[in-house]
């Protein structure tokens, strides 16, 4: 493993091994497997969990991190080749990435979708291009259409919950005041498919996921995959409801149209009544941050179904596993 950009770059056995090692590190969190290593963390977008869990993971294993937040204490960056840089951006990524890499042993990069062109975002071209600017290992800390660190933590959480490998995984849309990209839905779908789960996409009628993502999930090994549009029917016999919001395909890159399109969908806020026919102890998952009583009701987040804190904690352990595996710290 040279980079960690997507679970789709790994086979199932490699993912299982990363999670196994994360479990070992969860039991024995402190060590020196990253001693004298410096990890650069480049955040083009805000974060709570990713920033804090990476810094903690590195520190607990004897390493150091350098955090760069362009436009918030460091220079604003330009991405486009051939740009005439007479605007806000002071430095091009073609210099910034190799310079930062020269100080570090590995880089984590967060760069969200532009949400202008669906094909470009689904191809995750920017993350691949940024990773190509250095020979050092690069970790995707959330890109235009992936979030593999979250997916790995979610895999570990499903294992801890004892969810059967072919259990029913429902990826549910929820209303949100902004159109969001496909990064987390795609990462969650990849993870559930690689596990071989029975997948349902639960969403309003015009929020079906792109065909590319459905085809990909089938190829990755999903036991089955279908769209459902009724919450109670869609959640029948479900083990997991994984909540996220995303943009309707026909309005991708058109935020005003998208918000008009979803104006009547505010009742897509996860609540207990949705679980009427789900497994009795079905769980609620979300990557966080989450808007309470907009995407999910307090009764769910504060009740026994929610495993969101466990998911977030597992980010620490899986990222440690990824860093040590990339940097040869041994296991
Ligand atoms: N889930 C997640 O990546 O959280 P942050 O955006 O706070 O890092």
| pLDDT value of position 176 | 97
What is the sign of the dihedral through the CA atoms of 180, 294, 54 and 241? negative
| Residues β-bridged to residue 244 | 173
Q: What is the mean pLDDT of residues 261-280?
A: 97
Q: From 3.20.20.150, 3.40.50.300, 3.40.190.10, 3.40.50.1370, which CATH number describes the 150-311 domain?
A: 3.40.50.1370
Domains 7-147+312-326 and 150-311 share a fold: yes
| pLDDT value of position 220 | 98
Q: Residue 164 — pLDDT band, cuts 50, 70, 90?
A: very high
Q: Check pLDDT > 60 for residue 331.
A: no
Mutation to probe ligand 1, out of 50, 69, 109 (largest number of atoms < 8 A from CB): 50
How many whole angstroms from 257 Cα to the centroid of ligand 1?
A: 27
Q: What is the mean pLDDT of residues 122-126?
A: 96
Cα–chain-centroid distance for residue 110? Answer: 11
Instruction: Give yes or no for residue 151 CB within 6 A of ligand 1.
Output: no
Assign 13 to helix, strand or coil: helix
Instruction: Give yes or no for residue 48 CB within 6 A of ligand 1.
Output: yes
What φ, ψ does residue 188 adopt, rounded to 5°?
Answer: -65, -40
Q: Are 246 and 207 in contact (CB under 8 A)?
A: yes
Q: What is the mean pLDDT of residues 262-285?
A: 98
Q: Residue 330 — pLDDT band, cuts 50, 70, 90?
A: low
The CATH number of 7-147+312-326 is 3.40.50.1370
Averaged confidence pLDDT in the chain: 97
Instruction: Give yes or no for residue 245 CB within 6 A of ligand 1.
Output: no
Domain ranges across the chain: 7-147+312-326, 150-311
Q: Are 296 and 275 in contact (CB under 8 A)?
A: no
Which ligand 1 atom is the nearest neighbour of the CA of 51?
Answer: 8
């Amino acid at each position: 493993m040279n980079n960690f950009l997507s679970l789709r770059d790994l086979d199932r056995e490699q993912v299982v091994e990363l999670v196994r090692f994360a479990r070992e590190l969860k039991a024995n969190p402190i060590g020196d497997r990253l001693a004298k290593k410096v990890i650069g963390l480049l955040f083009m977008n805000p974060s709570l969990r990713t920033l804090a869990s990476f810094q903690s993971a590195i520190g607990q294993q004897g390493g150091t991190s350098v955090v760069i937040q362009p436009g918030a204490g460091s220079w604003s960056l330009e991405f486009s080749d051939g740009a005439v840089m007479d605007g806000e951006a002071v430095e091009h990524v073609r210099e910034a990435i190799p310079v930062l890499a020269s100080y570090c042993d590995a880089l984590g990069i967060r760069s969200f979708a532009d949400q202008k062109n669906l094909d470009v975002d689904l191809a995750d071209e920017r993350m691949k291009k940024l990773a190509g600017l250095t020979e050092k290992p690069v970790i995707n800390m959330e890109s235009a259409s992936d979030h593999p660190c979250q997916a790995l933590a979610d895999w570990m959480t499903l294992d801890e919950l004892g969810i059967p490998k072919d259990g029913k995984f429902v990826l549910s849309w929820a209303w949100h005041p902004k159109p969001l990209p496909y990064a987390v839905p795609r990462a969650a779908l990849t993870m559930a498919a690689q596990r071989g789960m029975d997948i349902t996409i639960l969403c309003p009628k015009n929020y079906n996921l792109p065909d590319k993502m459905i085809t990909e999930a089938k190829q990755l090994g999903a036991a089955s995959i279908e769209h459902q549009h009724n919450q109670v029917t869609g959640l029948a016999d479900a083990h997991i409801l994984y909540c996220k919001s995303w943009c309707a395909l026909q309005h991708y890159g058109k935020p005003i149209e998208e918000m008009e399109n979803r104006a009547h969908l505010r009742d897509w806020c996860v609540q207990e009544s949705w679980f009427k026919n789900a497994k009795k102890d079905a769980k609620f998952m979300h990557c966080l941050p989450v808007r309470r009583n907009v995407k999910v009701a307090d009764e769910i987040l504060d009740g026994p179904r929610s495993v969101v804190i466990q998911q977030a904690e597992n980010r620490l352990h899986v990222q440690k596993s990824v860093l040590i595996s990339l940097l040869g710290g041994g296991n």
